[in-house]
Structure 1
C-alpha cells in the first residue's frame, strides 16, 4: 500500500511524535511505501504572527505539497497525525480533490479546545466544549498564554466548523481510547466516523525485573502532567522511597529545587529512549499523575511492556488503561495525600507487586504490541480505500 503520512512535530519531542514515528517504522517494515510530509514547530519562530495565523487556518503551501506528493507517488490514502499549526486542514481538501481518502488520528483535543488539553488554571476546563465559537479560550489566552495566538487557533476552528471540514473532509477518525472517542462525540464529531485504536510500543523493549528499588516519572515537567502533585506527595511520604524524574519543561526549576532539598528525589533531565526503557524496567512502579484528561498515556503502556505497574490519576484516558489493583493503582487526581497513600499501599506487599508486574506485561501483550496494532490499522485502512 502507498500511504502519505503527515505530521507537524513539536519542538520538544513527546508521545505524539514517538507514536507517529513508531507507526511509520512499522508500516515500512511491513512492506508498505510510506511517503512523509513533516513540518516542525521550529519553523514557527521564523514566521511573523500574521503569516503563522494564515497558515494555521489554511496553508496554500501544504495544499500544493500534498497535491504534488499524491500525483508523484500514487498514494492510496492519506493519514494525518497532527496538522497544527503549520500544515493546516487544507491538506484534507488537497487529498479529497485527488480522490484520496483521509484518516485523522486524534492525538489531542485540538478540534474541540484551543489549547488542545481541556486544562486551564491548574484544573480540567470544558468551557469551550460544544461551543461553535470557542470564545472562553480566547478570553483566557489559553494557547501559549497568548491571546492573539489563541484567537488564530479559534479562527481556524470556527472557519472549518463553518466549512463542514470535520464532517465532510475526513473519512475516518482514530481515537486512542473509548474515553477520548466519547469526548469527541460530545464535541460534535460524527460518531460513525470515529474508531478506537490505541498506541503501541515498537520494538518490544523486553521485560525488566523491577530491581532498582525506586519509583519513576517520565514526561513533560508541567502542571497539567501533575508534577506539583507528585512533588508534594513525595514530601508527605513517611518512608524515603527514592523517586527518579526523567524529562524537561516549565517546572524544571521547581523539580531541581525539590531534588536539592530531598535526598530521595533525583532529576535526570532528558534521556535517550533506550535509557528510559531501562529505567522503566528497573523501577518498582511508574507514577502517572496527570491532571488533564490525556488522550492515551503512552508512557504507561511503555511501562507495561517492561512489566512495570503504574500509579495513575483516576482521570480521563489513563484511568481507562490502568486497572486498579491489577496493573497498578489509581489515586484521586491532584490529591498529593492520596498519591502518597497509594505509594505506601504499593510498597506494603511484595507478592502483590510481583503479581502486578506479571499482569502489566500480560496487558501489554494482549493489547499494545506492534503486531496487534498493525492488524487493527490494516482493517481501518481497508474501510476507507476507494
Structure 2
C-alpha cells in the first residue's frame, strides 16, 4: 500500500495539521510508504530523514499570509501549481494500491488536488476536521452575531447573511470557493469515503454527504498522561484552554467568572485576548505554554471550562484535562459534550445561557463533588480514549476497505 497524506501545512499550526503530520509519521514508522503532500512550510523537524516518508512542499503561501492578494484570491479558489505537482507524482503509482487521504485543502492546496487525484482514478478519503464540505465559512457559525447558523448552506438566506469574521466581501469569496469546490473540485460528490471525528459532527454533516457515502467515525487519538491525577478539591482555578476567538467563546466564561468572583486562568492566545482581559482583568493570562510549563498550572486547576459556541467537531482539551483527573463544564453546542456524563464527570450547560453556566461553576465549588467528578473523569478517559495503536489499526483497515470498493 502507498498513502498520500494531503495537508495545507508542513508544520503543526492546529489540531487538523497535527493529526495529518502524526498520521504520516506513524504510517511510515509502520513501514507503509507514505508521501506527505503540503502547500506551506517550513517542514517540521520530526518529519525530516524518516524512512518510508517523503515530504513534498509546494512552497506557497496560505490565503491570509500571501502578500500578493490577487494571487491569494485566485489560488485559494483553484491551486493549479499544487494540482500539477500532485498529478505528476501520482502518475508513478498504481491507483489499485494507493490511497489519497485529504486532511486539509482549504487554506493552501484547494480542491484542485482532489480533482487531480480523481482524474487519474485514485481513491480519495476526506477527513472531516471541519464543516467545509457544506458550509462556506467552514463552521456553521455566524461570526457577526456569535451564534450557530441554522441556514441551509448556499440557500438564499445563506447568500445574504453576513456571517464572515471580517467583511461581507470575504463571504462572497467564500461562496465562490464553495461553488468551485463543489462543481469543479468534486467535493464532496467525487470523494470515495470520509472520516468524521465524532458522532456529533457526523450527524450534522450527514445530510450534505452523498447518500451512499462510506463514512467512519474515527476519534482523534490521545496519549494518556503519565503524570499523576491532580487533587482538584485542593485547587482554586477554573481553566479556559485554547484559542481566544469568537467561536471558542472565552468571553462568556470570563463574564460569569467575574460576576461570581471566581479565580479564572486563561491559557492561550488569539484575536479576542484583549477583549477577555477587559472583561475580567483580575484573571490570570499566560499565553500559549509548552507542555512542561502547562503542567505547572494544571496542578492548580479545579475544573476546565469549555464554552465553545459553535459546532466544535471534538474538543480534545476535555480529554486532555480528564487525563489529569480534572472534570469539565462543557457547552451543549459542541461535540465535547459527548465526553461528559452530566453530573458524573462534569456538567453540560446551555450555550449562551449565563445563568446555566454560573450554576455549573458554583456546583464545582463543592470539594466532595469536584473530587468525585475528577476521579470519574480520569477513569472514563482511560476507557474511552483511543490510543495511537488503535487509531492506526482502524485507519489501515479503512484504507483496505476503500481500496476494495468498486
State TM-score, norm by structure 2.
Answer: 0.83
Q: Which residue of 2 aligns with 1:193?
A: 214
Which secondary structure does the structure 1 equivalent of 2:108 belong to?
coil
Matches within 5 A, 1:333-352: 333-350=351-368, 352=369
The count of aligned residue pairs is: 377
Which secondary structure does the structure 1 equivalent of 2:364 belong to?
helix
CA contact (8 A) 2:7 2:105 kept: yes
Q: How far did 1:218 drift?
A: 0.8
1:127 aligns to 2:151 (yes or no): yes
Which secondary structure does the structure 1 equivalent of 2:229 belong to?
coil
> Equivalents in 2 of 1:256, 1:76: separation in Å?
50
State which of 377, 398, 404 in structure 2 corresponds to 1:360.
Answer: 377
CA contact (8 A) 2:11 2:17 kept: no
Q: How far did 1:278 drift?
A: 5.4
Larger fraction in helix: 1
> Equivalents in 2 of 1:196, 1:279: separation in Å?
33
Q: Which residue of 2 aligns with 1:99?
A: 121
> Equivalents in 1 of 2:9, 2:291: separation in Å?
17
CA gap of 1:33–1:284, structure 2 versus 1, over 3 A, is: farther
Q: How far did 1:172 drift?
A: 0.7
Which secondary structure does the structure 2 equivalent of 1:127 belong to?
coil
Q: Which residue of 2 aligns with 1:325?
A: 343
Q: Which residue of 2 aligns with 1:8?
A: 8
1:215 aligns to 2:233 (yes or no): no
Which secondary structure does the structure 2 equivalent of 1:166 belong to?
coil
CA contact (8 A) 1:214 1:243 kept: yes
CA contact (8 A) 1:22 1:201 kept: no
Which secondary structure does the structure 2 equivalent of 1:232 belong to?
helix
State which of 29, 45, 51 in structure 1 corresponds to 2:71.
Answer: 51
State TM-score, norm by structure 1.
Answer: 0.87
State which of 169, 192, 198 in structure 2 corresponds to 1:177.
Answer: 198
CA gap of 1:38–1:210, structure 2 versus 1, over 3 A, is: farther
CA RMSD of aligned residues (A): 2.7
CA gap of 1:362–1:9, structure 2 versus 1, over 3 A, is: farther
Which secondary structure does the structure 1 equivalent of 2:39 belong to?
strand
CA gap of 1:77–1:357, structure 2 versus 1, over 3 A, is: same
State which of 77, 86, 95 in structure 2 corresponds to 1:66.
Answer: 86
> Equivalents in 1 of 2:285, 2:82: separation in Å?
40
> Equivalents in 2 of 1:47, 1:128: separation in Å?
34
Which secondary structure does the structure 2 equivalent of 1:285 belong to?
strand
State which of 248, 259, 266 in structure 2 corresponds to 1:236.
Answer: 259
Q: Which residue of 2 aligns with 1:37?
A: 37
CA gap of 1:93–1:162, structure 2 versus 1, over 3 A, is: closer
Q: Which moved more, 1:40-49 or 1:164-173?
A: 40-49
Q: Deviations over 1:157-187 (max 9, x none)?
A: 2234335823542111111111211111223
Q: How far did 1:108 drift?
A: 0.8
1:246 aligns to 2:246 (yes or no): no
Q: Which residue of 2 aligns with 1:302?
A: 320
Q: Which moved more, 1:103-112 or 1:88-97?
A: 88-97
Q: Deviations over 1:92-148 (max 9, x none)?
A: 12222333211111111112222112111111112243xxx3554553443342333
1:311 aligns to 2:329 (yes or no): yes
> Equivalents in 1 of 2:321, 2:131: separation in Å?
24
> Equivalents in 1 of 2:89, 2:371: separation in Å?
51
Which secondary structure does the structure 2 equivalent of 1:165 belong to?
coil
Which secondary structure does the structure 2 equivalent of 1:79 belong to?
strand
Q: Which moved more, 1:31-40 or 1:290-299?
A: 31-40
